[in-house]
Amino acid sequence: MKSPSIEKKVKFFILTVMICLTSLMVFGVASYFYFSHSLPSIENLKNYQPPAITKFYAEDGEIIGEFFTEKREVVSLERIPNYLIQAFVAGEDARFFKHKGLDYWAILRALLKNIFSGEIIQGGSTITQQVVKSLLLTPEKSLTRKIREAILSFKIEKYLSKEEILYLYLNQIYFGHGAYGVAVAAENYFGKNIDELNLAESALIAGLPQAPSKYSPHAHFEQAKKRQIYILSRMVEEGFISNSESLMAMQTPIKIRGKSYSPIDKAPHFVEHVRRYVEEKYGKDALYKDGLQVYTTVDLNAQAVAQEVVESGLKEIEKRQKYPSRSSSVSIEGALICFDLEKGWIKAMVGGRNFKKSQFNRATQALRQTGSTFKPIVFASALDKGYTPASIVIDSPIVFDFGNKKWRPHNYNEKFNGPTTLRNALAQSVNVVTVKIARDIGIDYIRDYARNLGISSSLHNHLAMALGSSSLSLYELTKAYAVFAQQGKMFKPIFIQKILDRDGNLMEEHRPVNFSNESIAPEQVISPQTAFLMTHLLVNAVQHGTGWRAKALRRPVAAKTGTTDQYFDAWFIGYTPELITGVWVGFDEDRSLGDQETGARAASPIWVSFMSKVLQEKEVKDFPVPEGIEFMKIDPKTGQMSLAKEAIIECFKEGTGPAQKVYAAQKPTTDFFKLDMNLSTKAW
């Protein structure tokens, strides 16, 4: 029989224990509610949309640009190799598929291993806790945060499946060197898609999250290798792989991709042009966080040729003029832009020699005096004001008064040719004839005509405008010429095929332009007949004028040179039935290229080199002749009908030629330009 005192002590002990347990329970419940009341919601984890990479693609699907705040590509678990998942589980959380958010044995085991090894080789946090820490909580180290982390881990385990938690973890974690998620880690370190990784590479990647900088294969390959061996050993312990598979993986050579790789180098100024558009239209967050897929029009083969010929062409000028080395603060610059006339696409764009040195795009942003490349706009205006290619204008001295100043336009060769046809005036780029035409038809009319062709920059309000005194971009002047090439239809270059959001939904699309379908073709801004006459005149400028270098293509080419005062700017814009390309050469500041560095000498060799290479495998085509055009034999000196041996075949809008037809095409044939190209200089 127990004594009363012992019985009292037992009752007191039991009561004390019950009070303590109750207090602990009350404290636990109170703590749970205290720490739970302001916890972040876990519902958004179901719609996981972290910042992702926006990617730009070339015409062939190759990546040419990436924009991000966190370099991450979200991939499904189905795309991730099974042994990569196993490597993470073995190395980070072996009991992941068994615990409910926290693994107490793992915490104790990690503590003991780290104590005995003298360094942190294993963490105690579960994969679920790491998801909480990365997505829901701040990275501060405090008891309060650890309690909140534990509560959220339990909640997540009830709300999400293990596979969903793994999906979040593998796409969210940081792997060093700007790589977030396993997909970008595979690309950054090995240059591979995630589903191409082997076991050795998977184990190395799985070892990085523990300490990305310490185990970086770029900076500390031996440390990364040790960590890889540890992961493989853990995979053997957990039964994921065999000993022999582990040994084979340890001996597999690891080829680490260099850190300097940048896809933007393939078309830097073009990519920047697209980037500016996307940011302006959709905003910075969309560009840098929303993982857009932007499919562009650039042809990387043509782009590579463009970059090569611009650089080599500028070096030739430097060599010829004995410029100082490019290491000096001032260097010659160049730009090139090429449009596909059949689709309306931008095929190539070079905005300068060195994008890293200067992001300024001289193809689209630089406004430069155009010189004689503006003259075709003046001549096209004249053709719509009653002039014909055979119209005679007297090339003779003329003086204009501007207040107390006088302006005497002069020709490049300082000579005057007397009566001159429009054809010869354009071919030889005769300044005085151009000014007289502009005076006759009016500056306002020419300005409106230029606007109609797509010129948006400011134009001077005096006759010098006809000689290219106004400053335009290479981009807008080239697309104005494209109206002539496309039989008078407005030309709006396309640089983006389509934009998709991160889920593949279409946000924007631009189909190739169909110029032949009248119902969907662009607006007709000048008549097909005027456009054809201009093309024919520009073909003559190549065959018998300043654009002579383009004859090297041995195919129909319409083109015009341009040179500004003191050789500050050199231009060459020309087209075939398939492509139109513009080239500009000059310095960023007002400075001469050097004596005799005209458009024909400085710019046209770059154009010829580019076009000859990109058209090398293309079939030779002729410019189509529209209805409403007639051909006649005329005297090249008087512009009148003639049957003489010296007569040339001239083209006119129907009803505008000499009174009596001598020769007219029954139906325009594709041999017409071949015939023209074989005519003698005298015949022209």
Active-site amino acid positions = 92, 372
Beta-strand relationship, 506-509 and 496-500: antiparallel
Crossing angle of helices 443-453 and 474-485, in 10° steps, is 90
d(CA 625, CA 531): 10
**3-class secondary structure, 509:** strand
d(CA 603, CA 471): 18
Can you give 516-530 as a three-state secondary structure string?
CCCCCCCCECCCHHH
d(CA 429, CA 379): 11
Burial label for 5, CB within 10 Å (0-12, 13-18, 19+), is: exposed
d(CA 45, CA 62): 32
Give 599's DSSP letter: I
- Exposure string for 145-177, b = 16+ CB within 10 A, e = fewer: beebbbbbbebbbeebeeebbbbbbbbbbbbbb
Judge whether 159 and 45 are in contact, CB under 8 Å: yes
Judge whether 269 and 475 are in contact, CB under 8 Å: no
d(CA 394, CA 150): 93
Where do we find the tokens 């090429």? 338
Crossing angle of helices 375-383 and 443-453, in 10° steps, is 100
d(CA 531, CA 69): 48
340 phi and psi, to 5 degrees?
A: -85, 110
Where do we find the tokens 């876990």? 42
